[in-house]
Amino acid sequence: MHQTGNYSSESLLDMIALHLDATYADSNIPREFASCFLKLSLYDEDRMSVCPDANEGGKKQTLSLRYNRVPDILTEGKSGKAWMFCCKWWLRRHFSQNMLTSEISAGDLQLLTYKASCGCHMYGPALDYIVKAYT
């Protein structure tokens, strides 16, 4: 349904999150989750703000771009509050050092890659799990 456009990325993101609250998934679920985050970040990028900088000393006015990688659904409104709790819990459940070590030793690099992509959208690129997965 999602692939044919009959189910929104936001709804699928919520449903996958509920699924991940109850289980540890193989690489297919994080792949779809990462795909939703990518689509949402592209929507946000399309709506990003372009603001003129101050005109100092007769210099030509330039433009400043500001883009936040974390999708609005994770930070704003009622869904943002729910996601805040989810993100805090997932730091211990899905993005812990023990989980990273276990996934590396299992050799499932696809799972590691998709989870790192999801984590980057949820927490930003400086999360320890993402940094270590990258190296």
Give the amino acid at 73: I
89 closest CA partner among 36, 12, 20, 14: 20
| Segment of 26-35, 50-59, 102-111 carrying the highest mean pLDDT | 102-111
Mean pLDDT of all residues in 73-96:
84
In whole angstroms, give the CA distance from residue 3 to residue 133.
Answer: 29
Tell me: the pLDDT tens digits for 4-30?
666 677 778 888 888 888 888 788 889
List all residues 6 or more positions away from 52 whose beta carbon is below 8 Å from its beta carbon: 61, 62, 63, 64
Q: Nearest 5 degrees, angle CA 15-CA 119-CA 45? A: 85
